Amino acid sequence: MSSSERPSRRGIFGVLLNAVAGVMLAVPILRYLFSPVARDRKPGYRAWVSLGSVEQFPAGQTRFATYRNPVVTPSDGDTASIACWVRNIDGKQFQIFAINCAHLGCPVRWFPQSNLFMCPCHGGAYYADGSRASGPPERGLFECRYKVDGGNLFIEAGDMPTPGAPGALASLSVRRPPCA
């Protein structure tokens, strides 16, 4: 740049050129970085997954079930296998609870003898219907949507439920989270 006080035309051009390059780089970089947030708009992200025949879940009992997450990447390994608790209330109606404690997400265990779910992390406890019994959780277990189709029980799967209140971004999206 010359020694004059006003920036030269060449200087302005240089700054502009770099600004354009910056924007052209920034847009894809931001899209890449924030892709996990935008992902739920893609089809197939949430899907109905079979938990197997209804007969595996006898009436009046709560049983352990696992399924593969509907979206899997090659590096997921075992982490794409998800567990849940299936309660067959009366032979017709079911409740499917996410494995995650509503306090901080640790895996709750079902104790059929005392009809309680207990969490190993901070001692949260829930009744058979998933409602809060004691401990630090503020609410009951996360209950997932289900359907029975052709003798098979299906869970709507796709994301790990977390205790935060659904935010503004979630309410903008068309569908509620499947486990809430």
Partner 1 sequence: MRLMGKVGRWFDDRLQLGRPVMQTMAHPVPRQTASWFYVFGSAALTVFGLQVVTGILLAILYVPSAGEAWNILQVLNHQVPAGWFIRALHGWGSNFMLAIVLIHMVQVFLFGAYKFPRELTWIVGVLLLLMTLGMAFTGQVLRFDQDAYWGLGIGASIASRVPLLGPALVNLLLGGPIIAGATLSRFFALHVFVIPGLLIAFVGLHLLLVLKLGINEWPMPGRIVRRATYLEEYHELTRRDGIPFVPGAVWKDVIFSGFVLLSIVACAVVLGPFGPGGQPDPTIIQTAPHPDYFFLWLYALLSFLPPAAETPILLIGPAVGLAVLIALPFLAGEGEKSWKRRPIAVLTLLLAAVALGTLTHLGGYTPWSPVMDAWSGEPIPQQYLKGRTALERHGALVFQLKQCHNCHSLDGRGGERGPALDRVAVGLTQDQLIRQVVQGGGNMPAYGKNLSPAETTALVAFLETLRPAGQAPARNASQATILEPPP
What is the DSSP-derived secondary structure letter of residue 100? B
Contact flag: residue 176 with partner 1 (CB under 8 A): no
Contact flag: residue 100 with partner 1 (CB under 8 A): yes
The one among 2, 4, 138, 151 contacting partner 1 by CB under 8 A: 138
Q: Where are the beta strands (DSSP E) in the chain?
A: 47-53, 62-68, 81-88, 94-98, 109-111, 116-118, 125-127, 132-134, 143-144, 146-149, 152-157
**Angle at 35 (CA atoms; ends 168, 25), nearest 5 degrees:** 115
Contact flag: residue 109 with partner 1 (CB under 8 A): yes
- Other Cβ atoms less than 10 A from the Cβ of 152: the count is 15
Taking contact as CB under 8 A, which single stretch among the options 7-15, 17-25, 100-108, 146-154 is the one that binds partner 1? Answer: 100-108
Contact flag: residue 127 with partner 1 (CB under 8 A): yes
Binding positions for partner 1, rule: CB under 8 A: 34, 36-37, 39-40, 45, 64, 66, 69, 71-83, 99-100, 103-109, 111, 113-116, 118, 120-123, 125, 127-128, 133-138, 158-160, 162-170, 177
